[in-house]
Chains A and B, each alone.
Chain A
Amino acid sequence: MSTELPQSSVPPPTGVDEPSSAPTRRTFIATTTAVGAVVAGGVIGGTLLVDDEVAAAGAPPESRVSLTVNGTRRTVTVDNRTSLLDLLREQFGLTGSKKGCNAGACGACTVFVDGRRVNSCLTLAVRLEGAEVTTIEGLAEGDELHPLQQAFVDEDAFQCGYCTPGQIMSGVGCIQEGHTGSPEEIREWMSGNICRCGCYVKIVRAVEQTAARK
Chain B
Amino acid sequence: MSPQPQAAVGVPLSRVDGRLKVTGKARYAAEFDVDGVVHAVIVDASIGRGRITGVDTRDAEAHPGVLRVIHHGNAPKLPYRDNPGSNNLPGRRLRVFQDDKVLFHGQPVAVVVATTLEAAQHGASLVKVRYEAEQPSTDLAEAKAGEPTEYARGDAEAGLRDSAVRMDLTYRMARNHHNPMETHATIARWDGNKLTVWDKTQWVVGTQTELSTVFDVPLDSVRVINPFVGGAFGSGLRCWPHTVVAALAAREMKRPVKVVLTRKQMYFGTGFRPRYEYRLSLGSDRRGRLKATVHEIDAETSSYETFEEAIMLAGQMFYSTPNVSQAYRKVPLDVNSPIWMRGPGFANASFAIESAMDELAHRLRVDPIELRLRNEPAEDESNNLPWSTRRLRECYTVGAREFGWHRHNPKPRARRDGDWLVGLGMAAAVYDPNNMEAHARARLNADGTAVVEAAASDMGPGTYTSQTQVAADALGLTMRAVTFRLGDSLYPQTPPHGGSMTMMCVGSANLDACNKIRRQAIKLAVEDEASPLYGAKAEDIVVRSGRLHVQGNPARGETYQRLLTRNNLTHLEADGSWSGPQDPERHSYYSYGAVFTEVGVDAALGLVRVRRMLGVYDCGRIVSPKLADSQALGGMVGGIGQALLEHTVTDHRDGRIVNADLAGYLVPVNADIPEIKAIYLEGEDMQADPLGVKGVGEIVQVGVASAIANAVFNATGRRIRELPITAEALL
Chain A interface residues (CB < 8 Å from chain B): 1-3, 5-6, 34-35, 37-41, 43, 46-50, 52, 54, 56-60, 79, 81-82, 86, 89-90, 93-103, 105-106, 108, 135-137, 139-140, 145, 149-150, 152-154, 156, 158-165, 168, 183, 186-188, 190-204
Contact = CB atoms under 8 A, between A and B. Distances in A.
B669 A2 contact: yes
Among B17, B65, B608, B662, the most chain A Cβ lie within 10 Å of the Cβ of: B662
11 contacts: A1-B607, A3-B607, A49-B128, A82-B118, A99-B260, A106-B662, A140-B23, A152-B22, A153-B14, A156-B626, A160-B232
A137 B633 contact: no
Contacts of A81: 118, 121-122
B157 to A, nearest CB: 41
A99 B181 CA distance: 8
B78 interface: no
B374 to A, nearest CB: 34
Given A101-B662, A162-B28, 16 more contacts: A5-B663, A35-B121, A39-B127, A100-B183, A103-B663, A105-B662, A135-B24, A137-B23, A159-B627, A160-B460, A162-B182, A194-B181, A194-B669, A198-B635, A198-B637, A200-B669
B59 interface: yes
Contact of A103 (B15, B65, B661, B668): B661
Contacts of B64: 57-60
Contacts of B24: 94-97, 135-137, 165
A191 B669 contact: yes
Contacts of A153: 14-15, 18-19, 22
Contacts of A186: 670
B378 interface: no
Interface string B642-656: 001100000000100
A48 B636 CA distance: 43
A48 B131 contact: yes
B125 A37 contact: yes
B357 interface: no
Contact of B25 (A60, A96, A102, A152): A96
Given A6-B662, A82-B118, A159-B634, A196 B231 contact: yes
A50 B133 contact: no
A78 to B, nearest CB: 9
Nearest to A35: B121
Contacts of B65: 60
Contacts of A38: 125
A53 B18 CA distance: 51
A160 B22 contact: no
B702 interface: no
Contacts of A159: 231, 460-462, 627, 630-631, 634
B670 A162 contact: no
A188 B122 contact: no
A43 to B, nearest CB: 8
A93 B31 CA distance: 8
Given A1-B609, A98-B230, A160-B459, A86 B117 contact: yes
Contacts of B637: 198, 200
A100 B131 contact: no
Given A1-B609, A2-B666, A156-B626, A196 B181 contact: yes
A20 to B, nearest CB: 23
B676 to A, nearest CB: 6
A39 B673 CA distance: 37
Given A86-B118, A137-B23, A153-B15, A201 B672 contact: no
Contacts of B666: 1-3
Contacts of A204: 670
Nearest to B130: A49
Contact of A2 (B19, B127, B129, B672): B672
B19 A145 contact: yes
Nearest to A192: B669
A37 B41 contact: yes
Contacts of B667: 194, 196
Nearest to B20: A161
B260 to A, nearest CB: 7
A174 B672 CA distance: 18
B228 interface: yes
A47 B132 contact: yes
Given A100-B181, A108-B181, A145 B117 contact: no
Given A1-B607, A3-B666, A196-B179, A145 B22 contact: yes
A163 to B, nearest CB: 5
B182 A98 contact: yes
A197 B24 CA distance: 17
A188 B39 CA distance: 37
A56 B626 contact: no
A111 B666 CA distance: 24
Nearest to A203: B670
Contacts of A48: 46-47, 130-131, 133
B663 A156 contact: no
A135 B645 CA distance: 32
A160 B228 CA distance: 8
Contacts of A39: 43-44, 46, 124-125, 127, 129
A160 B117 contact: no
Given A41-B46, A100-B263, A161 B21 contact: yes
A96 B26 CA distance: 8
Given A37-B41, A41-B46, A160 B636 contact: no
Contacts of A5: 663
Contact of B668 (A60, A95, A99, A198): A198
Contacts of A194: 181, 662, 667, 669
B128 A52 contact: yes
B708 to A, nearest CB: 11
**4 A-B pairs closest in CB distance:** A96-B24, A198-B637, A162-B230, A161-B21
B142 interface: no
A196 B233 contact: yes
B27 interface: yes
A206 B131 CA distance: 53
Contacts of B46: 39, 41, 48, 50
A164 B22 contact: yes
Interface in B216-232: 228-232
A149 B122 contact: no
